[in-house]
Amino acid sequence: MEVGFLGLGIMGKAMSMNLLKNGFKVTVWNRTLSKCNELVEFGASIGETPAQVVKKCRLTIAMLSDPAAALSVVFDKDGVLEQIGSGKGYIDMSTVDPETSSKISQAITSTGGAFLEAPVSGSKQPAETGQLVILAAGDKGLYEESIPAFDVLGKKSFFLGQVGNGAKMKLVVNMIMGSMMNAFSEGLVLSERSGLNPHDLLDVLDLGGIANPMFRGKGPAMLKSNHSPAFPLKHQQKDMRLALALGDENAVSMPVAAAANESFKKARSMGLGDLDFSAVYEILKMTKD
């Protein structure tokens, strides 16, 4: 099966590599084209523009940073819209808001092309090992056609109905995750300041009812101030912002998420946006009596 892949950041690189390793023919494009070279060593072809990739491939997947990037790759010159049409499918796996996804969907489907949004839950390591959770919505036929690729990329895929539902599900999940990261960071700081050993806190947490892979995976590195990026903080803050907007639209009060968003914004303003979202711990650590 031949697929196109647009966007070779942390996630896109791991996902396209996985497709290659599992026998897919992959044509890649990235805004910074030099990032394609590593994939070429593993058998990928390069498309010089998104339009060229779509022209060549029946299915094209995108994994881009945010709504502005997702829109640009579709609507700008040499973009997806120039070549998409009947018999072709476009699957956007970026985390964006439902409005962005709907705008892309309308443009693609008006050409006769098929559209699926399919954001993912799971970070760099699950992307590398094909253990993502795929939250698809949109064209059911395209979803079914994409299952061989989703089976390589993920451990489970959900079809959630109409376009927008995948984006909403992803934003709800990441709103919870961002709030949890803030509570966890506050707990680490509180344990240390109150004279406890924060490593003991990690052990206690891991044996109780709120044990989870995020605390277990990130806790030890956080205590060493190692925030090497798996999920960049700037993207987590984007997700909080988009989730809060969804809360506004639906009149849902979210004071916990709003406070977490403020911490992520502060961390971004201090230049921590490219580090892992666990770096929010550093700004909570800075607060003193």
Q: What residues act catalytically?
A: 170
DSSP 208: S
Query: Which residue in the set 231, 261, 263, 284 belongs to the binding site for ligand NDP (CB under 6 A)?
Result: 231
Alpha helices for the chain (secondary structure H): 10-21, 37-41, 50-56, 67-75, 98-110, 124-129, 140-153, 165-193, 198-207, 213-223, 233-249, 255-269, 280-286
Window contacting ligand O=CC(=O)O (CB under 6 A); options: 1-9, 27-35, 77-85, 119-127:
119-127
Q: How far is the CB of 149 from ligand O=CC(=O)O (least distance, A)?
A: 19
Q: Binding partner of residue 73 among ligand NDP, ligand O=CC(=O)O, none, CB under 5 to 8 Å per kind?
A: ligand NDP
* Cβ–Cβ under 8 Å, residues 132 and 114: no
Asked if 108 touches ligand NDP (CB under 6 A), the answer is no
Q: Binding partner of residue 79 among ligand NDP, ligand O=CC(=O)O, none, CB under 5 to 8 Å per kind?
A: none
* Cβ–Cβ under 8 Å, residues 37 and 50: no
Asked if 275 touches ligand NDP (CB under 6 A), the answer is no
C-alpha 124/C-alpha 247 separation (Å) is: 28
Asked if 102 touches ligand O=CC(=O)O (CB under 6 A), the answer is no
Q: Binding partner of residue 64 among ligand O=CC(=O)O, ligand NDP, none, CB under 5 to 8 Å per kind?
A: ligand NDP
> How far apart, in Å, do the first and last CA atoms of the chain sit?
60
Window 156-195: contact mask with ligand NDP (x via CB under 6 A)? ----------------------------------------
Tokens describing residue 160: 């959630």
Query: Which residue in the set 235, 242, 244, 260 belongs to the binding site for ligand NDP (CB under 6 A)?
Result: 235
* Cβ–Cβ under 8 Å, residues 7 and 47: no
Asked if 59 touches ligand NDP (CB under 6 A), the answer is no
Tokens describing residue 259: 């406070």
Query: Which residue in the set 4, 7, 79, 89 belongs to the binding site for ligand NDP (CB under 6 A)?
Result: 7
Query: Which residue in the set 123, 157, 237, 278 belongs to the binding site for ligand O=CC(=O)O (CB under 6 A)?
Result: 123
The CA angle 156-46-63, to the nearest 5 degrees, is 35
Which residue spans within 11-152 are E strands per DSSP?
25-29, 45-46, 59-62, 89-92, 114-117, 120-121, 132-138
Distances (CA, A) of 265 to 67, 177, 178: 18, 16, 12
Contact residues for ligand O=CC(=O)O, defined by CB under 6 A: 121-123, 174, 231
In the complex, the residues that contact ligand NDP under the rule CB under 6 A are: 7-12, 30-32, 35, 63-66, 68-69, 72-73, 94-95, 120, 123-124, 230-232, 235
